[in-house]
Amino acid sequence: MKFIGIIPARYSSSRFPGKPLAMIAGKTMIQRVYEQAKKALETVVVATDDVRIYEAVTAFGGKVVMTSTEHRSGTDRCREAYNKLGVKADVVINIQGDEPFIQPEMINALCACFPTDIATLVKPYTTSDKIADLLNPNNVKAVVSSESGKALYFSRSVVPYLRGIEESEWLSKHQYYKHIGMYAYSVDVLEQITSLPQSTLEKAESLEQLRWLENGYTIKVATTEYETIGIDTPEDLAQAIEYIQHIEK
């Protein structure tokens, strides 16, 4: 099967405008994401809505395509970018443009899920994790079938709720999974899901993958031990710079 990696990268951000062009130890964030993705994939493309990002990617020798400023999600941007590329692939991998420490093993794990409609990643919670991290609504939880390895549901709440057990014991009584927001889509399915109207559950939880489940699509789940480091604010960037200076010593 042929896989293509697409990195959606928009300039506007309420919390961190121009984030893809933020410098991390001598390289822009988007360059670091691109270089990490290229370790796993032959074809990687940045999909942007801003000429400044377009020029920055071109400057470091990356492949880039301009897309609309009107997209609601990275999934929508991936579809337009793929259609504009004029190349044929079986699977499109949506790689987050604000996670410069993504590991090639994570991309390989997604690829290994196919054939399927959609694939995504989860990281198992362990008893060394804090219960506050499990309860945090910004950490999306995935409910995965132990029989099929397919996603049953995603929620900002803790699912399942362990009745009759103290919250402090939940991590030792059940295997919970943190959702890692990378997706891979078969090309036909990508075209279909971006044409669907928002669903009730999607609106309630603000999670687009619930739209896909509600419409009957299969989401195969791969497990990873890697934790991504998303950069949403200038404070996150400062931590990323400190981290990379530590690992590159």
Strand partners, 222: 121
pLDDT recorded at residue 233: 84
Pick the CATH number of 117-227 from 3.90.550.10, 3.30.230.30, 3.40.50.300, 2.60.40.1120: 3.90.550.10
46 CB-side CA count, 13 A: 32
| pLDDT (mean) for 29-41 | 97
Through-space distance between the first and last CA atoms of the chain, rounded to whole angstroms:
38
Share of the chain above pLDDT 90, in %: 85
* CA–CA separation, 100 and 230 (whole Å): 8
In this structure, what token pair is assigned to residue 235? Answer: 């404070």
Q: What is the pLDDT of residue 203?
A: 97
Helices then strands, each counted (H, E), the chain: 10, 11
> What mean pLDDT is predicted for residues 131-135?
97
Q: Residue 26 to residues 15, 23, 30, 61, 244: CA-CA distances in angstroms?
A: 22, 6, 12, 16, 11
| Mean model confidence pLDDT for the chain | 95
User: In the predicted model, is pLDDT for residue 229 greater than 80?
Assistant: no
Cis omega (within 30 of 0) on the bond before 160? yes
Q: In terms of pTM, does the model score above 0.95?
A: no
Residues 6+ apart with CB under 8 A from 61: none
Is 8 in contact with 74 (CB distance < 8 Å)?
yes
The domain ranges of the chain are 1-102, 117-227
Lowest mean pLDDT segment, chosen from 19-33, 157-171, 233-247: 233-247
Is residue 32 pLDDT above 90, yes or no? yes
CB 102 within 8 A of CB 96: yes
Three-state DSSP class for residue 30 = helix
Paired sense of beta strands 27-28 and 43-48, if any: unpaired
> Is the pLDDT at 112 greater than 90, yes or no?
yes
Higher model confidence: residue 158 or residue 25? 158
Q: Is pLDDT of 231 > 70?
A: yes
Q: Do domains 1-102 and 117-227 have the same CATH topology?
A: yes
Residue carrying structure tokens 């919250």: 167
Q: Is it the case that residue 248 has pLDDT exceeding 90?
A: no
Quick check: 38 pLDDT over 80? Answer: yes
Q: Is 34 a residue whose pLDDT tops 70?
A: yes
Q: Is the pLDDT of residue 148 over 90?
A: yes
Is pLDDT above 70 for 249? no
Domain boundaries 1-102, CATH class = alpha beta
- On the question of pLDDT at 123 being above 90, the answer is yes
